[in-house]
Amino acid sequence: MGSAVPVQSLEGSTGLLNLFGDATRLRLMALLADDELSVAEIVKVTGLAQSRVSTHLGRLFKAGLLRDRRVGSSTFYQVHPAMPAAAAELWRTVQPTLDDPALREDASRRDVLLEARGEGSWPAAIAGEMERHYSPGRTWQAMVHGLAALLELGDVLDVGCGDGWSASLLAPRSQSYVGVDRSERVLEAAERRAADTTCARGRPRFVQADMEALPFERESFDTVLLFHVLPHAEAPESALAEAARVLRPGGRLAITTVAAHAHEDRTAAFGHRHPGFAPAALEQLLEGAGLEPLQCAVTSRERKKPHFEVVTALARKPGPDGEKKTP
């Protein structure tokens, strides 16, 4: 004797049919019928936008058709073996009839991904998307510290040094380190943070000053840093001229800054006086300050709207004979 068909109200039946009446949700159900996949893996297999995948997974999970499992920062989904009876009955009817090129391609890509995962080849499973995935200890901060260990910076001037995080990173790779900021409170925090930090020639120093009027002798530093401070300058050309003045011949200026944008309403609250710098415009400013641009390009783009971009620039001060040198 067969099992009784689950009884559903009119509203419940309509909701259930609506749930199964979407091609993307059926596609996800078919993909997750026998295997557990993370959101990132589902996106990679299907090629769908993550927001779209997350929305449909959310509906299926809320209805009890999927179960989830958290592993670190990732969430894995699979068809729930104990989904509501009416949904289970409908799924048993629909699943055997599903046959579509998109589903076959999904299954093929899923099998490749699972094979790589099964071989213990985690990098192979996320090849091409490594920056989006977590693994123990593999963070941007760890990478920055690893790269900083390769540096030999000489005498460093960090303009707009903030509360000392960069000092703790860069001072041990410097002959001397001087941090400059306009805020006395920020500099007090920097002093505390760098209390146990040393350079080759003693402890880092912190000076309250404006980037457009640096209180240092000309040709005092081998490296000048302007990290995310140029939009704060009243006159960016003056700030770059000052950086060039205090650089020794052959010394380098490194800059990171937000790229040109049309979202002053967002950046004004952070004290920005300029709406960023296009690479070509920044190159002109560097040349106007008597420096030789070696690199000037957009190097990153934020994922969240309004998708601010960051320009990274590196410039060198010509040697004593005025001749520009290539890197």
For tokens 């944008």, what's the residue? 261
Every domain of the chain with CATH number 3.40.50.150 lies at: 140-316
pTM, entire model: 0.63
Q: Closest by alpha carbon to 154, among 243, 207, 221?
A: 221
As a whole number of Å, the end-to-end CA separation of the chain is 83
- What is the H or E stretch that residue 222 is in? strand 221-227
**From CA 115, how far away is CA 135, in angstroms rounded?**
19
Cβ atoms 176, 201 nearer than 8 A: yes
Q: What is the pLDDT along the chain (327 residues), one digit of tens a residue?
A: 445 556 567 776 788 888 888 999 999 999 999 889 999 999 999 999 999 999 999 999 999 999 998 877 788 999 998 999 888 889 999 999 988 999 999 998 888 888 776 655 556 555 555 665 656 676 777 877 788 788 889 999 999 999 988 898 999 999 999 999 999 999 999 999 999 999 999 999 999 999 999 999 999 999 999 999 999 999 999 999 999 999 999 999 999 999 999 999 889 888 899 999 999 999 999 999 999 999 999 999 887 889 999 999 999 999 876 554 443
* Residue 156 neighbours by CB under 8 Å, 6+ apart: 170, 171, 174, 175, 176, 177, 178, 221, 222, 223, 224, 225
Half-sphere exposure at residue 15, Cβ-oriented, CA atoms within 13 angstroms? 13
**From CA 324, how far away is CA 327, in angstroms rounded?**
10
100 pairs with which residues across the strands? Answer: none
CATH of 10-127, one of 1.10.10.10, 3.40.50.10490, 3.90.190.20, 1.10.3720.10: 1.10.10.10
Residue 313 CA to its chain's centroid (Å): 18
Q: Closest by alpha carbon to 177, among 208, 203, 139, 147?
A: 203
Six-digit token pair at 132? 């989006």
* Residue 6 neighbours by CB under 8 Å, 6+ apart: 84, 85, 86, 89
How would you classify residue 250: left for phi > 0, otherwise alpha for psi between -120 and 50, otherwise beta? left
Cβ atoms 179, 164 nearer than 8 A: yes
CATH of 140-316, one of 3.40.50.150, 1.10.20.140, 3.30.70.870, 1.10.4010.10: 3.40.50.150
Every domain of the chain with CATH number 1.10.10.10 lies at: 10-127
**From CA 168, how far away is CA 78, in angstroms rounded?**
45
CA dihedral 290, 246, 152, 159 (to 10 degrees): -100
